[in-house]
Structure 1
Amino acid sequence: MGSRKGGAVASGRTAGQARWGLRTAAVLVLALLIQAGWVIRPAWACGCGAMVPADQATLRVGEETSAVSWDGVTERIIMRLSVSGDAAEAAWIMPVPSRATLDLGDAQLFDRLERVVEPVEKTRNYFWPRDGDWPFTGGGGDGDSSRSGSGAAPGAPPVDVLASGTLGPFEFAQLAATDPNALAAWLGDNGFRMPDGMAESLRPYVEQRWEYVAVRLTPAAAGERDAARGPGHKQTLGGELDPLQLTFASDRLVYPMRLSQRATSGQTLNLFVFAPHRVEAVADIGGGGKTELLYAGRPDPEHVGWPGTPGSASYLTAMTRPLPKPSTITADFEFRAAPSDKRFQRVDYTDELLTVGGVPVWLVVVFGPLLALGVGLVVWARRKHERRMAAYPPPPPLRPL
């Protein structure tokens, strides 16, 4: 299926003028993104794009959490990365199927979503005694928890700079490319040196005429700082970065993952997907992990608090996916409507011994019949004695002479 292309070239321009304007924009982006030059080590890819540290530094993306909203026409992604390492700055490259609008995301959104999808607490009774219950001793029991178009227009320049600017602590550029090697070369010329083989990872996006958002990250964009280490200490990217929001036209619900093939360490991807119905993956993407469903249902919009979420995209499917072998990822995540909108909520059980009036039921069941038998024998013996006494009354007492 195809994806809609957003944006247009300004009316009245000739093709040559348009190219000249784009090349001028490229020079401006170059001035923004190259300051004193970057010597860059290979990228640490993340699920939704690629992260490139600078200054011979290291940067590891340990966890990626994204909220995705799709109403059949427009897709929106808010992404938050948790990073560690000693990089003072880095670049993040994100492929998108059409022209994207870039904004800062709501930093509190994921806290609210975590509360929506957290397991409910329930009590579950068990019959037979366990460790910690009389007559046993020891530890207690534990609770349980469960294509768009093909190719580029003839004569188009290999790399176009579509837009550039600043957004809060971020600097960004939006790019389009008709050749994966040209895109990799352009990124390298502008301080974003890709690791070996990145051109091959980019090729499917180039062939589908996708675009790219390149964002420069600095410690000002990080949620945690190094100021506590003492004055003069070099600030580095660390902790949870401020979330970014991308909005673009798409007629399919897709989450880019191919660039994660270049990651050198395992990662965890958490997805909150808002769509008209419950969703499921079209196919497995590889990566060595298995997707775990966390929640499925229509939460109260007030509890979600994601302004602008289309009402038609009110069904939330939350999932987590470990990626211990990112090099084996073969495709992007693409989702379709599940067979049903059956609701799912995880449950955390607290196991308790079944009692009645404070007395364990197993004691009543096991020893109750014995007690009843004992009481019955006593009653039977007493009645038998009474009948015998009635049949053979004792002789009257002897009178004195």
Structure 2
Amino acid sequence: MAQYSTSPWSRLCRTALVALLAATCLVSAPTASACACGAPAMPDGVDATATQEIALVSGDGRTETIEMRLALQSAGDRGALVVPTPAPATVSGGTAETFTELGWITKPRVDTRRRLFGFPNLIPLMGAGNPGAPEVLGRVRIGPIEAVTLRGGDAPGLQRWLSDNGFALRAEVAATLTGYVADGWSFVALRLVGDDLRGGLKPVRLTFPSTELVYPMRMSRAARQSQRVTVYALGHHRVERTDADRGRQDTTLEFAGRIGAATHDPRLTELSAGVGDYLTRITTEAAPESITTDFRFSRAATDEPYQRVDVEYVADGRTALTTMLTAVGALAGIAFLVGGAAVIDRRRRARG
């Protein structure tokens, strides 16, 4: 069993680490939400909340790669995650710079406009050993994270293995494993096992055989609040969600286009050369009751590019001065007309 330092500095560092966990969707029982990518497995009394989930998916028709990064708030210093994959996955570390670059490439274009009278916009736009146990195919250490790849077994055996090895799942979350086991999926179990926090924590990369782009979502059926998931898909063409849940969830296209030479990130350059340079960014808001299947992505009907536009209203000194002079001039004109009318009226009365 791993030994954890109890010094205030160590506890602070571990809390900061979990808050930056780019590769794990750590959430706890009983109060925190589940996470879209997989099932939370936390020690008793540890509370964490996944605030956003971000992933990059890519594939060549034979192999798919999922790279995951999350924004997380946590009051604990340990945690684990179980992620289902259609076939056994090879696990390695990703780079945070890749996600920074993705955000930069797909950021909305800002359309700056001046209001007619120059007033600023005041309102922002809005296993082995147990019957049915899974086979342990491999273990890999990525900094302070241990990743275990599992295959086979039955649902009770998988749940027992996870529980015996420190991956405690809520009953309603554990129940969601059954469908994946029945479909013959494999699992990657991730957990924090050390105190080596130097350099922070990298995103996790899962690579596995797959003929289509898929992102695991079914376990979020057990979530206690809506899930927000941003998926970047890189390939030869623009893609769209084609799974049965799409119409029941709020799905927004935020970017579509070829990145070409626009990227300076080595990982994106490598992927572009292998699977294509067309990037699609889709964000989904999904209530737990709307989740019945995994995200599946297929080629869209068109490769037409798209970039979201945010309109920003501003007022500089010139438009503000123009507004003031216009208002003063209008008031002076009104005063002149009213005064002139009064003079004419007095003259008429005097002659009468």
Q: Residue 39 of structure 2 corresponds to which residue in structure 1?
A: 50
* Alignment match of 2:257 (pick from 266, 282, 297): 297
Residue of structure 2 equivalent to 1:167: 142
Partner-residue secondary structure (3-state), 2:171: coil
- The residue number in structure 2 matching 1:383 is none
Within 5 Å, give how 1:58-207 maps onto structure 2.
58-124=47-113, 129=116, 132-133=117-118, 139-141=119-121, 158-207=133-182
Q: Offset of 1:328 from its aligned partner?
A: 3.3
C-alpha distance in 2, partners of 1:221/1:260?
A: 31
TM-score norm. by structure 2 comes to 0.72
Counterparts of 1:282-321 in structure 2, within 5 Å, are 282-285=242-245, 289-301=249-261, 303=263, 305-307=265-267, 308-311=270-273, 312-321=275-284
Give the ranges of 4+ consecutive aligned residues of structure 1 lying more than 6 Å apart after TM superposition: 142-146, 221-224
Shift of 1:61: 1.1
Give, in angstroms, the shift of residue 218 of structure 1.
5.5
Q: Using structure 1 for the length normalisation, give the TM-score.
A: 0.64
- Among 321, 330, 338, the alignment partner of 2:300 is 338
Larger Rg: 1
Deviation at 1:110, TM superposition (A): 1.1
Aligned partner of 1:276 in structure 2 is: 236
Whole-Å separation in 1 of the counterparts to 2:149 and 2:196: 19
**Equivalents in 2 of 1:242, 1:288: separation in Å?**
33
Distance in structure 2 (CA, Å) of the matches to 1:61 and 1:334: 22
C-alpha deviation, 1:249, in angstroms: 1.3
Contact 1:89 1:217 in 2 (8 A): yes
Unaligned 5+ segments in structure 2 are: 4-27, 327-352
Which residue identity lines up with residue 282 of structure 1 in the other structure?
T
Which whole-Å CA distance do the structure 2 matches of 1:221 and 1:79 have between them?
A: 21
Q: Offset of 1:175 from its aligned partner?
A: 0.8
Does the C-alpha gap of structure 1 residues 81 and 277 become closer, same or farther in structure 2, counting only changes over 3 Å?
same
Q: Distance in 1 between matches of 2:74 and 2:288?
A: 19
Distance in 1 (alpha carbons) for counterparts of 2:256 and 2:87: 28
Quote the Cα distance in structure 1 between the aligned partners of 2:141 and 2:203.
15
Give how far 1:85 is off. Answer: 2.5
Does the 8 Å contact 2:43/2:168 carry over to 1?
no
In structure 2, do the counterparts of structure 1 residues 52 and 44 end up closer, same or farther at CA, with 3 Å as the change threshold?
farther
Structure 1 residue 276: Cα displacement: 1.7
Seen in structure 2, the aligned counterparts of structure 1 residues 85 and 141 have a Cα distance that, compared at 3 Å, is closer
Name structure 1 gaps, 5 residues minimum: 1-30, 34-39, 134-138, 147-155, 225-239, 364-401
Number of matched pairs? 290
Moved more, 177-186 or 254-263: 177-186
Tell me how far apart the structure 2 counterparts of residues 196 and 55 of structure 1 sit (CA, whole Å). 14
State the Cα distance separating 1:291 from its structure 2 match.
1.2
How far has the Cα of 1:327 moved from its partner? 4.1
Q: Give SS of 1:118's match.
A: coil
CA RMSD of aligned residues (A): 3.4
- Whether the aligned pair in 2 keeps the contact of 1:292 and 1:319 (CA below 8 Å) is yes
> Do the aligned residues in 1 keep the contact of 2:69 with 2:203 (CA within 8 Å)?
yes
User: How far 1:252 moved relative to its partner?
Assistant: 0.8
Percent of aligned positions that are identical: 33
C-alpha contact 1:295 1:318 (8 A) present in aligned 2 = yes
Kindly tell me: are residues 143 and 115 of structure 1, through their superposed partners in 2, closer, same or farther at Cα, counting changes over 3 Å? farther
Which residue identity is paired with 2:303? D
Written as runs of structure 1 = structure 2, the 5 A alignment for 1:219-230 is 220=195
